[in-house]
Amino acid sequence: MRRRQNIPLTLPPVPPPATPADSLIPAASDPADLEREAALARLFELHYASMLRLAVLLGADDPENVVAEAYYQIYRKWRRLRDTKAAEAYLRSTVCNLTRMRIRHLQVARRHVENPPEEVVASAESTALLHDDQRVLIDALQQLPARQREALVLRHWLGLKESEIAAAMGISSGSVKTHTSRGIAALSQAMEARQ
């Protein structure tokens, strides 16, 4: 009888099975990509709620989508940011611009609709952000022209300086003063008329 020799059999290693989530996440091998991902995650954790409130106060009908688009834009342009510490200001400015563009788009679209909607319904998230005692103020704020509303929200809600407001709105500091003072006067008048 012949004896079998023990010959080691070598097979290539079998990779672990991929989970569905793993197949959706691209492998980030570049350290710059890893750094960008971490910085954006921190930015999201720290500022998502405040950016959502900003979009609501500026009058966005879909604030969640506006903020998501703002984060997407900063994600795309991250490598071109001169100062990554200015990412919050860039994000705030982007939310302002996107809200303004969305409101303009809706105004144009509503002019061309034969049967305009009777009532705009706010999303559940937007409604949850506002307390009942703020509704009168928010209603009065919504009646202001867009630039006055932006200047007041950026100044009194976020507490920004005139130079920061000017940068966020893309206007001069003098224009910020004008919009703020006119907005306060109109808001005071509207609030007195409702009482």
pLDDT, tens digit, for every residue of 91-119? 999 999 999 998 888 888 777 776 655 66
Q: Is the pTM of this model over 0.75?
A: no
What does DSSP assign to residue 11?
-
CA distance readout (Å), 191 to 57, 130, 148 = 17, 18, 15
Q: Which of 59, 43, 41, 47 is nearest to 98 (CA)?
A: 59
Q: Which tokens in the block code for residue 22?
A: 């793993």
- pLDDT truncated to tens, each residue of the chain (195 aa)? 555 555 554 545 555 555 554 444 555 567 777 888 888 889 899 999 999 999 988 888 889 999 999 999 998 888 888 777 788 889 999 999 999 998 888 888 777 776 655 666 677 776 666 665 577 777 888 888 889 988 988 888 888 889 989 988 889 999 999 999 999 888 888 777 766
